[in-house]
């Protein structure tokens, strides 16, 4: 039996910040190299390197759009489950990106 677990990830930067950004045409991005493959050993090495560095508190500044929301407006935000990352990948979990907020 697959147990569906929804992982809520608070994000504030990339997709959410663009909601209130003006519609300005972007320059053509430079070609990016293909992503590099990685494995568990790579992840472990990266974790060991990060563990030697001091903890950095994540930024807590909200875009102006979210700063203007009151409690009830913020609570009215709903995530569309059909838009979850890995929704159709037959995994026992999926990721829903929700905005950083004050609740």
With b meaning 16 or more CB within 10 Å and e meaning fewer, what string describes 50-83? eeeeeeeeeeeebbeebeebeeeeeeeeeeeeee
Q: What is the mean pLDDT of residues 14-42?
A: 70
pLDDT of amino acid 102: 64
Which residues is 64 bridged to in the sheet? none
Average pLDDT of the chain to the nearest whole number: 76
Name 94's Cβ contacts closer than 8 Å, sequence gap at least 6: 4, 5, 6, 7, 84, 85, 86, 87
What do you get for the CA distance between the two ends of the chain, in Å? 34
**17 or 75: which leads in pLDDT:** 75
d(CA 9, CA 4): 16
Asked if pLDDT for residue 72 goes beyond 80, the answer is yes
Asked if pLDDT for residue 14 goes beyond 60, the answer is no
Q: What is the mean pLDDT of residues 28-45?
A: 87
Asked if pLDDT for residue 36 goes beyond 60, the answer is yes
């Amino acid at each position: 039996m697959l147990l569906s677990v929804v992982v809520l990830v608070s994000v504030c930067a990339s997709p959410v910040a663009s909601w209130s950004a003006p519609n300005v045409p972007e320059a053509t991005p430079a070609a990016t190299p293909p992503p590099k493959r990685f494995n568990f050993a790579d992840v472990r090495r990266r974790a060991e390197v990060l563990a030697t560095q001091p903890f950095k508190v994540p930024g807590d500044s909200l875009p102006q759009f979210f700063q203007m929301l009151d409690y009830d407006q913020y609570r009215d935000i709903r995530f569309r489950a059909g838009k979850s990352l890995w929704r159709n990948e037959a995994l026992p979990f999926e990721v829903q990106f929700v905005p950083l907020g004050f609740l």
